[in-house]
Amino acid sequence: MDLAEKTCIPCRGGVAALDRPKAEELIQQVPGWSLDSEGKRIVRCFCFQNFLEALAFVNRVGELAEEQDHHPDIKFGYGYAEVWIHTHAIGGLHENDFILAAKVNGLEQAAD
């Protein structure tokens, strides 16, 4: 099943974070995203024409995060939004992170 079609399942901890080989496999399914140097978070920077476009995108990501009960870290400003995703409860990556990334990619495509 395509990652964007899945739903995040709440992770309360007690499971192991994905190892780097599995994370590298899943990152291939979310174009534009990269693993951080430690393989514990994924990140993507989105570019926009102005501050209002960036803000609107951040708000859509926030709504999506609430729907999925999975919350990224977001930094944004004039013309950009940087989204960092990991599973706080396990201090690393979980399949949920890649599901959310795929859904965020869908937001970008819907805006085009």
Scored b (16 or more CB within 10 A) or e, 88-111 reads eebebbbbbbbbbbbbbbeebeee
CATH number belonging to domain 18-111: 3.30.1360.20
Give the tens place of pLDDT for each residue, 43-84. Answer: 999 999 999 999 999 999 999 999 999 999 999 999 999 999
Report the distance separating Cα 85 and Cα 54, nearest Å. Answer: 18
Lookup: tokens for 102: 């795929």
List, in sequence order, every beta strand (DSSP E) within 1-112.
Answer: 34-35, 42-47, 73-77, 80-85
What is the model's pTM? 0.92
CA angle 95, 96, 102 (to 5 degrees): 95
